[in-house]
Amino acid sequence: MQKTRAHHAIEIAESAEGGFRRPADAEVAALAGTRGVVFVEYVALLLLVTIIGAGAVVTLGIPLVNLFRYQQLILSLPIP
């Protein structure tokens, strides 16, 4: 039996209302594919390491700048 436009419209309406619709073969193939998963994992890991590194630089950088300015002040005093 060939599907008509009316049958197709009913299927779409049922799926929009939460009815179960059998996924098409292309959808199943797209969801089953694992191509590019490793690349996404590497990007996520790189992003995590970058954020942690930036936090460490900010956390340690501010006290080091303050210490440098203090030492610069001490060294530039006219009386030893």
Q: What are phi and psi of 35, to 5 degrees?
A: -70, 130
Task: Find the radius of gyration of the CA atoms of the chain.
Answer: 31
pLDDT > 60? residue 1: no
What is the average pLDDT score of the chain?
81
- Tell me the average pLDDT across 41-63: 95
Report residue 50's pLDDT band, with 50, 70 and 90 as the boundaries: very high
Q: Using CA atoms, how far apart are residues 34 and 40, in angstroms rounded to an integer?
A: 11
- Tell me the average pLDDT across 8-21: 62
> Which pLDDT score is estimated for 80?
65
pLDDT > 70? residue 35: yes
- Could you tell me the residue ranges of all domains in the chain? 1-33, 35-80
pTM (2 decimals)?
A: 0.48
> Which pLDDT score is estimated for 31?
67
